[in-house]
Amino acid sequence: MRRVRFGAPDASLTGRAGMVAVGEFVDKLGVVAALDTAIGAVKRRDRGMSAGQLLVGVASAQLAGAGFWAHLDEQRTDQVVAEALTVPIPASTTAMGVAARFDEQHFSAVEAGVAEVVDRAVAMMSPERRDRLAAAVTTDLDSSDVEVYGRRKQGVAYNYCGQRCGRPHLASWAEAGLTVAADLMAGNADVRPVAAGLLGRALAAIPAPIRESAQQAGTLRVRADAGYFTAE
pLDDT tens by residue, 195-223: 999 999 999 999 999 999 999 999 999 99
DSSP element (H, E) containing 25: helix 19-29
Closest CA to 197 of 169, 216, 218, 160: 169
Quick one: CA dihedral 123, 126, 132, 138, positive or negative? Answer: negative
CB atoms near residue 111 (< 10 Å): 19
Mean pLDDT, rounded, of the chain: 90
**CA distances in angstroms from 187 to 24, 27, 190, 199, listed in the order given:** 37, 37, 9, 20
List, in order, residues 6 or more apart from 149 with CB less than 8 Å away: 164
Question: Does 26 score more than 70 pLDDT?
Answer: yes
Q: What number of helices (H) and strands (E) belong to the chain? A: 10, 6
Question: Does 188 score more than 60 pLDDT?
Answer: yes
pLDDT tens by residue, 161-183: 999 999 999 999 999 999 999 99
pLDDT band at 231 (very low <50, low <70, confident <90, very high): low
Residue 68: per-residue pLDDT: 87
Amino acid type, 204: A
List, in order, residues 6 or more apart from 36 with CB less than 8 Å away: 50, 51, 52, 53, 113
**Residue 162 gets which letter from DSSP?**
S
This prediction has a pTM of: 0.84
Range with top average pLDDT, 18-22, 41-45, 228-232: 18-22
CB 179 within 8 A of CB 154: no
